[in-house]
Amino acid sequence: MINADDNEHHRPLGLSLMAGLYLFFFLLTASTFGNPFPLMGTILVGAWAKTAVFLDSLTCLYLFLGILKRQALTWYLLLSYNLFEILNTIFNVRIISIAELEKVIGSPINRNGLMVNNIAAALAILLLSQFIYRHKRYFSNRTKFLF
Relative to beta strand 37-39, strand 42-44 is antiparallel
Note the pLDDT tens digit of each residue in 45-82.
889 989 999 999 999 999 999 898 888 888 999 999 99
pTM above 0.75, yes or no: yes
Note the pLDDT tens digit of each residue in 108-127.
888 888 888 888 988 999 99
Task: Decide: 14 and 131 in contact? Cβ < 8 Å.
Answer: yes
| Amino acid letter, residue 35 | N
Q: Which residue has the higher pLDDT, 22 or 10?
A: 22
C-alpha radius of gyration, the chain, whole number: 18
Indicate the pLDDT class of residue 17, thresholds 50, 70 and 90.
Answer: confident
Give how far Cα 23 sits from Cα of 26, 41, 81, 100, Å: 5, 26, 14, 31
| Amino acid letter, residue 75 | W
Average predicted confidence (pLDDT) for the chain: 84
